[in-house]
Chain A
């Protein structure tokens, strides 16, 4: 099943399928390791519901929902 990263529930795991952002946001996502094939674990949302925190390539990354929309994920059981 595929869905975008912002749709992930806390504790859900998945693999990055594609990144649809443009320009600086796209490059930043790539540089931080959000590339196809990367495993992602959805850790939590900030107290105000946004941004989100994910575990990726062994570290913690935070990004906004508006940026997470650009990341299409394959959900892993």
Chain B
């Protein structure tokens, strides 16, 4: 099958084109650098089907960023049959800069002039024929969004792919033409492929090329020594970049006929930007948007209408039975939307999904299994192992999707790039760039896509530091741990406010992330703050199609995870808790003899400084089991409580009163654990803090392994997570239990900081603290 590669600037509509061509639902966003790896699909309307490879968005073929290197190596080594270079027609000048580099490679190129509809709408015109003549390759005006011109584009690309094309350079008229020509002839003599491309890069002093063609360096240097430019001296990189832009300005200015008077007018995007990045209002607006997102996703009192108007609860309205159950089916639906307050859309979605759909389905399936003639252990495996596991995981789909919807809107609209713009100064203090914000905030949804997104960070150390702290931004799967434990604290001890505890844990995670980044950037990951030279794309209304594609992508990913890793792990945990070391099948009553219980009792003392170790006595190991289960997937933590509470009830006939330990929210399951172990409030908070900052789920760990550049960094990352969670947990527990221990912690922190300052000042490669340099 023929291979066509899509190449172009970030944010030029490349991924939209890819989706339109292949019908795939890849991630699209209005953020420079959303596509961070190459993806492929198939286009079928050409005489034979062709594979379409979507390369990462790039501005140049320089050797400095991973995206550029991926794209460059693909085009040079994989030898696609045609490169479809997508060019944003509304920003021709900068987009053609990449085109001039692609044209130097010996590969057929077709230029797709995208967003032509936006150009025409603005009243401008682009002369496609002139462009085609100057570039020497076919040019097709298209709109990837409205899907116009795509057939013509692909037909021309197919036709172009049938013939060979020799690279051509726009530098042919520049003062360097002779030098490049000589190097090219020398390379050609040695049988090097793509001699023109390599010649230009060699003259540019491109680090990849000089490494690859070491033997040619003396010759190139000799050629170069004879050359002197009156403006740039011997800065060949500058001469070549300048030459490209000069050629573009000189030749393509006349292809664009602009309506001059419009130039001065503010576009709607400019007006929006004036407000969104306003000197005074910019930051409050940003905070308000973040708050609104979380309110719409999680609040059980939408717009605080319930509190303001003192709305009656379902009980007050006489719609509940004496047992507190809804009177009829209609009231059950009503209870999904309202109870003393209107719920926010995220909560409504969550209730309908869990109470009416998933709950019903698995209740019915469970009933069928119960009535069947299978053996007791098979029924246990299916009902307690598999069904409970799957429904627990599926119950997290609504909040994850709602959060992702909002983040997709921010990303698609172009606001996400402005957030980086607004926050860069703050992030620089910690040795990161504003770009690191995006992966971190995505961490609130799910660590996996967040870690993949760190590929947009060019600096390896910044990337490592960001990956390590992403799990501290509590993800959707960790939220149920927070709400269940916080809810149990309020319900059992009758103190505090569940929302305040949950919010406090989010803040704790953020603080832990900031402290960790500062620590790493001053010790193991020292380095200059990476540059922040970034395009700010024009604002546009998010496309419904893109948003849906985005969400579908997430759903697929999550459900896949549910049915693979998490399903497997629930079965493993179920098996470990129902078999003894001698492979005897154990009834629920005998869980004390299980493999899991024995392993957990072994490591239990390690958790004593954190409050959920040896001091909890006989059943204290359940917290250890929950932590271990959480390493597989954080969804398992509360699900494990429910399973183990059921077992404890069976073992010792422990009476948990009226607690519904299999309830979806897990609050009662946690309360049962509190009753069984007598764990204290500080220890419970330490437990959630530990889960938030420890090694994330297997899926995230796997992603981190793939993204980190070396095995050493990966092992370091795992150790970092263990150490950070242990410290945070111990700190929370000891200070919560004995307030005066805060002085000990303060002393430890002070000593550490002093130590780092002294080492950095007087040690090798002495330098000032990053914090101080930031100012």
Contact = CB atoms under 8 A, between A and B. Distances in A.
Interface string B37-52: 0000000000000000
B94 A32 contact: yes
Contacts of B59: 31-32
B257 to A, nearest CB: 14
Contacts of B535: 32, 59-62
Given A60-B536, A61-B536, A47 B280 contact: yes
B263 to A, nearest CB: 10
B241 interface: yes
Interface in B113-154: none
Contacts of B245: 33, 35, 37-38, 57
Contacts of A76: none
Contacts of A62: 421, 424, 532-536
Interface string B252-296: 000000000000000000000000011110110000000000000
B534 A47 contact: no
Interface string B512-537: 00000000000000000001111111
Given A31-B60, A46-B425, A36 B242 contact: yes
Nearest to A57: B93
B282 A26 contact: no
B39 to A, nearest CB: 24
A61 B533 contact: yes
B425 A33 contact: no
Contact of B94 (A29, A37, A44, A57): A57
Contacts of A31: 59-60, 62, 97, 241
Contacts of A33: 93-94, 97, 245
B237 A26 contact: yes
Residue among B64, B245, B278, B458 with max Cβ neighbours from chain A (10 Å): B245
A1 interface: no
Nearest to B206: A27
B174 interface: no
B242 A51 contact: no
B238 A30 contact: yes
A28 B231 CA distance: 20
A72 to B, nearest CB: 13
B91 interface: yes
Given A27-B237, A38-B245, A47 B279 contact: yes
Contacts of A64: 424, 428, 531-533
A19 B532 contact: no
Interface string A33-77: 101111000001111111101000111111110010000000000
Interface string B604-640: 0000000000000000000000000000000000000
Contacts of A9: none
Contacts of A47: 277-280, 282-283, 422
A45 B532 contact: no
Interface size class of chain A, counting residues whose CB lies under 8 Å from the partner chain: 20 to 34
A48 B424 CA distance: 9
A35 B532 contact: no
Contacts of A53: 277, 421, 536
Nearest to B243: A35
B531 A51 contact: no
B426 interface: yes
Given A31-B60, A64-B532, A67-B532, A45 B279 contact: yes
Given A27-B62, A30-B238, A36-B242, A46 B424 contact: yes
B476 to A, nearest CB: 30
A24 B92 CA distance: 24
Contacts of B434: 51
Nearest to B88: A59
Contacts of B231: 36
A53 B417 CA distance: 12
Contacts of B237: 26-27, 30
Contacts of B428: 64
Residue among B278, B280, B532, B537 with max Cβ neighbours from chain A (10 Å): B532
B533 A29 contact: yes
Nearest to A29: B533
Nearest to A31: B60
Contacts of B93: 33, 57-58
A24 B64 contact: yes
Contact of A24 (B94, B97, B278, B531): B531
B256 to A, nearest CB: 9
B246 interface: yes
A61 to B, nearest CB: 6
B533 A35 contact: no
B94 A46 contact: no
Contacts of B425: 46, 48-51
Contacts of A30: 237-238, 241-242
A27 B64 contact: yes
Given A33-B245, A59-B535, A46 B277 contact: yes
B238 to A, nearest CB: 7
Contacts of B97: 31, 33
A62 B531 CA distance: 11
Contacts of A37: 242, 245-246, 249
A1 B458 CA distance: 36
A48 B422 contact: yes
A33 B248 CA distance: 11
A59 B94 contact: yes
Contacts of A38: 245
B588 to A, nearest CB: 58
A64 B94 CA distance: 20
A49 B237 CA distance: 32
Interface in A1-34: 19, 24-33
Nearest to A50: B425
Contact of B533 (A28, A44, A59, A60): A28
Contacts of B422: 46-48
A44 B64 contact: no
Nearest to B458: A24
Nearest to B59: A31
A31 to B, nearest CB: 4
Contacts of B280: 47
A2 B473 CA distance: 46
A32 B283 contact: no
25 contacts: A19-B238, A28-B533, A30-B242, A31-B59, A31-B60, A31-B62, A32-B533, A33-B93, A33-B245, A35-B238, A37-B245, A37-B249, A44-B277, A46-B277, A46-B425, A48-B422, A49-B425, A51-B532, A53-B421, A57-B91, A57-B93, A57-B94, A60-B538, A62-B535, A67-B531
Interface of A: 19, 24-33, 35-38, 44-51, 53, 57-64, 67
Interface of B: 59-60, 62, 64, 90-94, 97, 231, 237-238, 241-242, 245-246, 249, 277-280, 282-283, 421-422, 424-426, 428, 434, 458, 531-538
Given A29-B533, A51-B434, A67-B532, 9 more contacts: A27-B62, A28-B64, A35-B245, A37-B246, A58-B92, A60-B535, A62-B535, A63-B533, A64-B428
